[in-house]
A and B are shown apart, each in its own frame.
Chain A
Amino acid sequence: ETGVTQSPTHLIKTRGQQVTLRCSSQSGHNTVSWYQQALGQGPQFIFQYYREEENGRGNFPPRFSGLQFPNYSSELNVNALELDDSALYLCASSLGAGEETQYFGPGTRLLVL
């Protein structure tokens, strides 16, 4: 049991809207990474937060932003949604930024119409 939870499980939005996805880390984990997984593809790294600070970012535009809270839960915000943003969004938590074992949540399935 990983202990990482994500909400909501599914979401439908229209192009141009904004969306917020949430992730609760496993107890004691201070690092959260977010990934986007398009249908039939492997997950792509969006960014990582370590102790409330961004600690690395993948090749995603600024309209993808995040937050990490003092309790180490996290949000992924996407502005000006595009059709290609339709994907499974996964978060993963770990004990530290250098800790190799990441525990993944079940994901949020986002559909942009």
Chain B
Amino acid sequence: KQEVTQIPAALSVPEGENLVLNCSFTDSAIYNLQWFRQDPGKGLTSLLLIQSSQREQTSGRLNASLDKSSGRSTLYIAASQPGDSATYLCAVRLTGTASKLTFGTGTRLQVTL
């Protein structure tokens, strides 16, 4: 059974700092890994999707890496802003499992002025 863990559970940083969020998964037979953002009480917004054959993806100030062999992914946020405050979730899709996503419990990020 695939288990996804995210560390830390919560993080508070001052504006402008670079930060790293971690995600680990137990089954390396993944099809892809996705990072989402969730604002309080809202749905999910996809940030980055990394295919199993890729090592990283970048979008603006966000960079996600994937090390399938060690079962780890990181989300790097450069020059954090108060608007980045949200919960960040990683989710993996196993090969041969339709579109079922297995999510971690998330990292709650607060960026302070």
Residues of A within 8 A of B (CB): 2, 4, 31, 33, 35, 40-45, 48, 50, 55-56, 58, 88, 90, 92, 94, 97-107, 109
Q: Is the CB of A109 within 8 A of B98?
A: no
What residues of A have a CB within 8 angstroms of the CB of B101 in the complex? 33, 35, 43, 45, 102
Q: Is the CB of A33 within 8 A of B100?
A: yes
What residues of A have a CB within 8 angstroms of the CB of B34 in the complex? 100
CB distance from A76 to the nearest CB of B (A): 15
**Which of the residues A56, A88, A106 comes within 8 Å of B98, measured between beta carbons?**
A56
Segment of B14-22, B42-50, B60-68, B74-82 in the binding face? B42-50
CB distance from A6 to the nearest CB of B (A): 8
Interface string of B71-113 (1 = CB under 8 A from A): 0000000000000000001010100011111111110000000
CB distance from A39 to the nearest CB of B (A): 10
- For chain B residues 1-57, which have a beta carbon within 8 Å of chain A? 4, 31-32, 34, 36, 41-46, 49
**Which of the residues A40, A48, A101, A109 comes within 8 Å of B100, measured between beta carbons?**
A48
CB distance from B87 to the nearest CB of A (A): 9
